[in-house]
Amino acid sequence: MKLKSIQHKLAFYGLQLLLVLTLFSACKEDVIRLNPLNESDYQVDGAPSVSLLGEDGKTQTSILEFRTLGSYDVSVQLNKPANQNIAGSITYDENVLKEYNEKHGTSYQAYPKDLVTFSGEGKVEIKQNEKMSSAVAIEVKPNPASSGSETYVIPLNSTVPSENSTFDTFMLFVKDMTKIPSTDKPNGLKVISCMEVNDTNPLNNLAFTLKNSGKLLVDEVILFSSNINYNETTGKVVLTHNPNVTHLLQNKDKYLKPLKDRGMKVILSVLGNHDRSGVANLSEQAAKEFAQELKATCLAYDLDGVFFDDEYSAYQYPVPPGFVSPSNQAAARLVYETKQAMPDKKTMVYVYGRTNYFGGSSALPGIPAGQYVDYALHDYLQSYSLTNNYPELERSGWFLSSGEYARNYYPSPTALRNIKTGGYGGTMIFSLDPNRSNYSFFQLSALRNIAVYMYDDELVVDNSKIYKKDW
């Protein structure tokens, strides 16, 4: 992300060459090995004739987190208008979960059925010449047995018939967070802090709260960054972590658990590292295998998802064996396979490089980007519409007017007000560091603006929670 901002944002200042020379450094790796690559074509099944549609536009899986009572609306939709009135119901079906676990080699547990209720007993009707039923509200009571770290599933099925007698299913991944503090603000907007962990301590995110709500300013922290690399000796693609990321992961109880204990999400960033591999040139099989490595890492270190950034890669032409031509579609494939591997985790993309557009001919056939992209984080200070970039990704998944705190790129009050009034998800800040010389005026002023113009609140700084990098 630093290199991108040099090459893309500072070029008109005439500093591109100087900054590239000073910042162009590679990350060393702790290797996680993958199996040999398979270059078979990537295919996605077509849409079913009947599908369950969640309130967030998801049609196969979604995530419900709650801290009092949970609620999630589901409707039945057809892929063409009904030729007569059609009646049926949405049901809790443990066979759906059993089949899912068997197919994917997972062991998710069902959320207790007696804690789940369906409005109107789950009954739905699709009127003649219409494609959508009214919504069924799924109400979820807290689970006394949950500590907040477990992920359960409410498996859903539909009895609405279709012409070819197919039915679609839905896996609602549930996290009962009633025993964990929340960062959620009254208006639902979020602040994502993308931490340059080569320079700063992620615990600094604990220092900033809002006076009136008492909530932490930052909701999610991205560890920037791990890498995708090609191992010349083995000829395999590997996930790598530089010494700084390695230290944080290996000492997660000190650096990451305090964030999670306060309700923050911790996300792993992945980008290229100056060789032939990248997030935008893996074949189908390689994407599946790399997604499994990402899943293993998230499980091992209790991480909440992955952020994909197409930078730093030195893609080769002609395309070397084991890879495909770099493309937006190949990048989309990796994000899709990651969501398939861990549907209970978040998948985020940077609106830059080949992760910037998963629509049109760059889309995966039959799978709109909104089904596998949870958040799209705009490039620095950008705020244009992402409707075409990520079809079916709702505005609540768009993060606009990102700041770059190392170089004093900060969104204006007008941009922050637009986030609040436009139904967007929030904003991202990159490279927050209270120990940098520009903190006391520039960075702190930018954080105060977020508090005022996004939340109508006042920033409170706890200087006892300002940490230096101590490794």
**Cα(121)–Cα(118) distance, rounded to whole angstroms?**
5
Which stretches within 306-407 are classed as H helix? 328-341
In the chain, domain spans: 2-30+181-465, 50-176
Using alpha carbons, select from 338, 411, 400 the residue that is nearest to residue 371. 338
Span 412-443, pLDDT tens digits = 999 999 999 999 999 999 999 999 999 999 99
Strand 220-231 and strand 265-272: the pairing is parallel
For the chain, how are helix, strand and coil distributed in percent, rounded to 5?
30, 25, 45
**Cα(221)–Cα(236) distance, rounded to whole angstroms?**
30
Length of the chain: 471
Per the CB < 8 A criterion, the answer to whether 145 and 100 are in contact is no
**Cα(185)–Cα(191) distance, rounded to whole angstroms?**
10
Span 179-234, pLDDT tens digits = 999 999 999 999 999 999 999 999 999 999 999 999 999 999 999 999 999 988 88
Q: Say which range, 149-163, 164-178, 241-255, has the weakest mean pLDDT.
A: 164-178
Supply the residues annotated as catalytic.
Answer: 311
Q: What torsion do the CA atoms of 354, 358, 360, 364 make, to the nearest 10 degrees?
A: 110
Using alpha carbons, select from 431, 371, 369, 388 the residue that is nearest to residue 2. 431
Using alpha carbons, select from 223, 224, 281 the residue that is nearest to residue 252. 223
Which stretches within 358-443 are classed as H helix? 413-421
Q: Report which of residues 355 and 84 the model is more confident about.
A: 355
Span 305-334, pLDDT tens digits = 999 999 999 999 999 999 999 999 999 999
Question: DSSP secondary-structure letter at 363?
Answer: S
What pLDDT does residue 167 have?
57
Other Cβ atoms closer than 10 A to 357: 21
What's the chain's average pLDDT? 90
Across 134-139, average pLDDT? 97
Span 38-63, pLDDT tens digits = 433 333 343 348 999 999 999 999 99
Q: Is the dihedral of CA 323, 329, 332, 336 positive or negative?
A: negative
Question: DSSP secondary-structure letter at 324?
Answer: -
**Cα(48)–Cα(33) distance, rounded to whole angstroms?**
36
What pLDDT does residue 161 have?
82
Domain 50-176 is classified in which CATH homologous superfamily?
A: hypothetical protein (bacova_03559) (2.60.40.1740)
Q: Which fold has domain 2-30+181-465?
A: TIM Barrel (3.20.20)
Q: What percent of the chain has pLDDT over 90?
A: 84
What pLDDT does residue 266 have?
98
Span 223-260, pLDDT tens digits = 999 999 998 888 889 999 999 999 999 999 999 999 99
